[in-house]
């Protein structure tokens, strides 16, 4: 009897594989890391073959831990980083690294697109990166038969079918209600030929892509009866795994970056005809309004690597949390801007970089660490403020990812923003994949019904009113820094 599901979470740092039953219970999990390459400041690349190897390694290990046979697996689904752009042949072969989502080398191209079209993509977005590739690597561009993302390539490796995720393609200018891409947008910014290189078939999250090929099944230790369901952007699919499947709730996915997402009946941050409005791109009848920080958990990893090498890697953040709890709010005047890889919202500035201000001879490591936590939390509050300004107040958040493992960090977020934080599993992306797989396999007739049956929140962190007041000058100081630095940065 095929009664099990596999969720694959292809994040920035590696692949996580989970085996679920139909009720969303975890039977086993495993992870396999892969490397990010930073050739220059603002650049970030990954090797696609590393992704596939991580899929095979993590999935086989999870199946072994679960101690189940392949003939019990009904379906699998993968979700991956978005705006991770690559070129390849029709046979899936690759001749260069993929440009990771956090890569902001295409800042000039984003500006060029704005001047040509009036649209405002970030340097991270698919069109900006595509234009950079065309202008700066013309031979690679000419030889490329397929221009796609991590998500599309993984599905091709699994099924042998080229298609694109409707969810992912919201960042490409695909509009499901209009049945295609904004072709005028692509022609205006000099990317008309990109339309010919992109996969042609659109598949919604939770719909069927196909079955495993014999080659993929053999490498994964599964069989060709396993159905592959369409996933999408890791954070979007994670919304489902956090229990957000209708308007009126918001989700925050934490990890290398933070994304705040809300299901809304109208687009919040762009017009209905904007190239990335994305109607129905995850939930039918809804727009998914998103605001994001480029660098959050990745800054914590940087801090551990550069300033906490003496601490045990597995216990590092627990030890740092313990001493940082004793540091006063505001860290004795330290102010940290979390712009290690630029700023996505609210400034959409790929050129700015991180700042730690207020260091003195008495500054301690734990004070700097707490300043990192407070700076990231200030950046998150800036995201929430963008929703408020657009008439979508967020009064509570469902939170998933690495931040939920730190009681201190969660309390700082709640106190600084003044709203309750509902803790969900730190495997919400994989669970969202399990939900999509369950729907594709016919276990649940709709995605919201699968969400209701498979998701169970773990607890809530409430804000402290006194600490919320104490954080107001900290947030004010944080916000003043960008305005002061911007003219100097852009000289």
Eight-class DSSP state of 478: H
Based on the domain organization, do 17 and 105 belong to the same domain?
yes
Identify whether 253 is part of a domain. Answer: no
The pLDDT tens digits for 55-114 are: 999 999 999 999 999 999 999 999 999 999 999 999 999 989 999 999 999 999 999 999
Identify whether 447 is part of a domain. Answer: no
Alpha carbon distances (Å) from 408 to 307, 309, 323, 368, 384? 19, 21, 11, 15, 20
* DSSP letters for 107-138: HHHHHHHHHHHS----TTSHHHHHHHHHHH-H
Residue 273: its pLDDT value, please? Answer: 67
Residue 154 makes CB contacts below 8 A (sequence gap 6+) with: 8, 10, 51, 52, 55, 78, 80
**Better pLDDT: 379 or 282:** 379
**pTM of the entire structure?**
0.81
Based on the domain organization, do 463 and 377 belong to the same domain?
yes
Eight-class DSSP state of 464: P
Based on the domain organization, do 297 and 225 belong to the same domain?
no
| Residue in the block written with tokens 């705006």 | 83
Identify whether 442 is part of a domain. Answer: no
- Assess whether pLDDT exceeds 70 at residue 464: yes
| Residue in the block written with tokens 């998103």 | 290
* DSSP letters for 290-356: EEEES-SHHHHHHHHHHH-TTS-TTTHHHHHHHHHTTSPTTGGG-EEE--BTBB-SSS-BSS---EE
Residue numbers of the domain that contains 331: 293-423+459-489
Q: Give the pLDDT band of residue 34 (cuts 50, 70, 90).
A: very high
| Residue in the block written with tokens 């409430």 | 462
Task: Provide the number of structural domains found in the chain.
Answer: 2
- Assess whether pLDDT exceeds 90 at residue 178: no
Based on the domain organization, do 313 and 211 belong to the same domain?
no
Q: Is 148 exposed, middle or buried (0-12, 13-18, 19+ CB in 10 A)?
A: buried
Peptide bond into 159 cis (omega under 30): no
Identify whether 443 is part of a domain. Answer: no
Based on the domain organization, do 477 and 369 belong to the same domain?
yes
Mean pLDDT of 461-481: 97
Among 237, 258, 274, residue at a domain's last position? 237
Identify whether 213 is part of a domain. Answer: yes
Domain with residue 122: its CATH number is: 3.30.420.40
Based on the domain organization, do 229 and 322 belong to the same domain?
no
Based on the domain organization, do 225 and 344 belong to the same domain?
no
Based on the domain organization, do 19 and 92 belong to the same domain?
yes
Based on the domain organization, do 191 and 62 belong to the same domain?
yes
Q: Is 4 exposed, middle or buried (0-12, 13-18, 19+ CB in 10 A)?
A: buried
Based on the domain organization, do 206 and 309 belong to the same domain?
no
Q: What 3-state DSSP class applies to 198?
A: coil
Among 217, 237, 257, residue at a domain's last position? 237
* Structure tokens that stand for 204 in this block: 């919604």
Identify whether 256 is part of a domain. Answer: no
């Amino acid at each position: 009897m095929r009664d099990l599901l596999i969720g694959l979470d292809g994040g920035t740092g590696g692949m996580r594989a989970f085996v679920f039953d139909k009720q969303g219970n975890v039977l086993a999990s495993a992870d396999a890391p892969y490397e990010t390459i930073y050739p220059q400041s603002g650049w970030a690349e990954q090797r696609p073959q590393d992704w596939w190897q991580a899929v095979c390694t993590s999935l086989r290990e999870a199946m072994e831990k679960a101690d189940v046979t392949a003939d019990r697996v009904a379906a699998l689904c993968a979700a991956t980083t978005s705006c991770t752009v690559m070129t390849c042949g029709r046979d899936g072969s690759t001749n260069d690294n993929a440009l990771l989502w956090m890569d902001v080398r295409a800042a000039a191209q984003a500006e060029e697109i704005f001047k040509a079209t009036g649209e405002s993509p970030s340097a991270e977005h698919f069109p900006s990166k595509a234009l950079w590739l065309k202008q700066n690597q013309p031979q690679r561009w000419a030889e490329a038969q397929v221009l796609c993302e991590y998500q599309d390539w993984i599905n091709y490796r699994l099924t042998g079918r080229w298609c694109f995720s409707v969810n992912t393609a919201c960042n490409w200018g695909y509009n499901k209600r209009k049945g295609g891409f904004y072709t005028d947008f692509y022609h205006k910014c000099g990317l008309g030929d990109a339309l010919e290189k992109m996969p042609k078939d659109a598949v919604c999250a939770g719909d069927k892509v196909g079955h495993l090929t014999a080659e993929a099944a053999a490498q994964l230790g599964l069989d060709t009866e396993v159905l592959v369901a369409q996933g999408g952007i890791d954070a979007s699919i994670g919304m489902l795994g956090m229990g957000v499947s209708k308007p009126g709730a918001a989700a925050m996915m934490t990890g290398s970056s933070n994304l705040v997402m809300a299901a809304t009946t109208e687009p919040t941050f762009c017009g209905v005809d904007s190239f990335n409005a994305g109607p129905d791109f995850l939930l039918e009848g809804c727009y998914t309004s998103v605001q994001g920080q480029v660098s959050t958990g990745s800054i914590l990893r940087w801090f551990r690597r550069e300033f906490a090498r003496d601490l045990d890697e597995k216990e590092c953040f627990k030890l740092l949390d313990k001493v940082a709890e004793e540091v006063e709010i505001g860290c004795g005047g330290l102010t940290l801007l979390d712009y290690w890889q630029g700023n996505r919202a609210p400034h959409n500035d790929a050129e700015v970089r991180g700042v730690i201000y207020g260091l003195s001879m008495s500054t301690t490591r734990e004070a700097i660490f707490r300043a990192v936590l407070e700076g990231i939390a200030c950046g998150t509050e800036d995201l929430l403020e963008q929703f408020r300004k657009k008439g979508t107040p967020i009064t509570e958040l469902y939170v998933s990812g690495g931040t939920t493992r730190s009681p201190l960090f969660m309390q700082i977020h709640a106190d600084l923003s003044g709203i309750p934080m509902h803790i969900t599993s730190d495997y919400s992306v994989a669970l969202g994949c399990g939900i999509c797989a369950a729907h594709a396999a016919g276990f649940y007739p709709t995605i919201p019904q699968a969400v209701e049956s498979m998701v169970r929140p773990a607890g809530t962190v409430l804000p402290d009113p006194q600490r919320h007041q104490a954080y107001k000058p900290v947030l004010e100081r944080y916000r003043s820094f960008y305005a002061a630095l911007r003219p100097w940065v852009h000289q």
